[in-house]
Amino acid sequence: MSCYEITRDPTLLPKGRGALGNATGRFERHERVFEADGWDREDDNRALRTEVRDESARRIISYNRSPDLPFDRSINPYRGCEHGCIYCFARPSHAWLGLSAGLDFETRLTARPGAAALLEQELRKPGYRVAPIAIGTNTDPYQPVERAYGITRACLKVLSDFNHPVAVVTKGSGIEHDIDILSDMADRRLARVGVSVTTLDRELSRRMEPRAPDPARRLRTVERLADAGIPVRIMVSPVVPGLTCHEIEPILSAARAAGAESASWIMLRLPLEVSPLFRAWLAEHYPDRDKRVMGLVRDMHGGRDYSSDWGRRMRGEGPYAELIARRFEVAAKRMGFLTNQPALRTDLFDPPPRAGDQLSLF
């Protein structure tokens, strides 16, 4: 199979989805191949619909020791993401469920409706040591399914009740429904939000992140969060070489006008199954830029599509990566973005009493 080919099921209609097919997961023993049997009819085609199954997790806080990340713990209310961003580095995680990083990742989701109760249990453990919790670091906590499940909101309520600091990352406008909780937490310096904007080009965004809010809508979200007193960081993420790299300055300018106070960026990452999925998408939608985009990507990773080395995987290395970093640094400084946001408070952490608990005498 060519590196630009993805096995497609001809009976599926992946309209409004990012991936072009369901590439076989890396842990699967057999590859799925679709062959015409001579009986195909036009009315046999099936529109892809989102399926959600509930998961009973044993714990909800995940810990990491990555030197690339500014946090050591996170919560992910959902597995998979309906936004369908073709570049999403989290796609390979679906392989652990025996599912594809392609269309399965966008359409076969897992929800954790008991997350808030688990979170409360873990925060009440005697040995728990408080530090900011990140929400949305793997898949988006405000993807469309949140409207029905409300898991993210339930977790925020627990964190607010415990005076626990939180940093939320999203590109979903659904976060506006939780401004009441987040603004109250921000008043106590317990909350901040990062909003991801990859491009200002509506057509490119529709193809690259088909079910995410369009760029203008995300900027309105930045404005509404900022107006509510919630510190907002604009995330130019990912920067796609040869496709969105020229938009760094315009994105920063638009975000600053909307009220973002700090900014960050991450280079395109193509780990494991993401690489063939992205290359197939690129060949389908932008064949004229195919070689240039992938050439720049490989220049930053020693001739490979991706390098997972700590310290380099988020930014790449070499002349092109250095140029992007310098451009971002100059533009962010000129526009008055904070380099580092003020630290969230951890000294207020205080588990609220439960019904039946012995109250303190003091």
Report the distance separating Cα 6 and Cα 105, nearest Å.
Answer: 15
Report the distance separating Cα 281 and Cα 204, nearest Å.
Answer: 12
Supply the DSSP string of 136-200, one letter for each residue. Answer: SSSS-TTSTTHHHH-HHHHHHHHHHHTT--EEEEE--GGGGGGHHHHHHHHHTT-EEEEEE---S
Tell me the pLDDT of the chain averaged across its residues.
92
Average pLDDT over residues 257-267: 97
pLDDT of residue 44: 52
pLDDT(37) > 70: no
pLDDT(252) > 80: yes
pLDDT(134) > 50: yes
Average pLDDT over residues 221-240: 98
- Domain boundary assignment for the chain: 54-334
Task: Give percent of the chain with pLDDT exceeding 90.
Answer: 80
Cβ count within 10 A of residue 346: 14
pLDDT confidence bin for 39, thresholds 50/70/90? low
Tokens of 127: 């040995």
pLDDT of residue 239: 98
Report the distance separating Cα 10 and Cα 246, nearest Å.
Answer: 36
Report the distance separating Cα 344 and Cα 193, nearest Å.
Answer: 12
Q: In terms of Cα–Cα distance, which of 138, 80, 107 is closest to 21? A: 107
Average pLDDT over residues 212-241: 98
> Does CATH place domain 54-334 in 3.80.30.30?
yes
pLDDT(88) > 90: yes
Average pLDDT over residues 288-302: 97
pLDDT confidence bin for 175, thresholds 50/70/90? very high
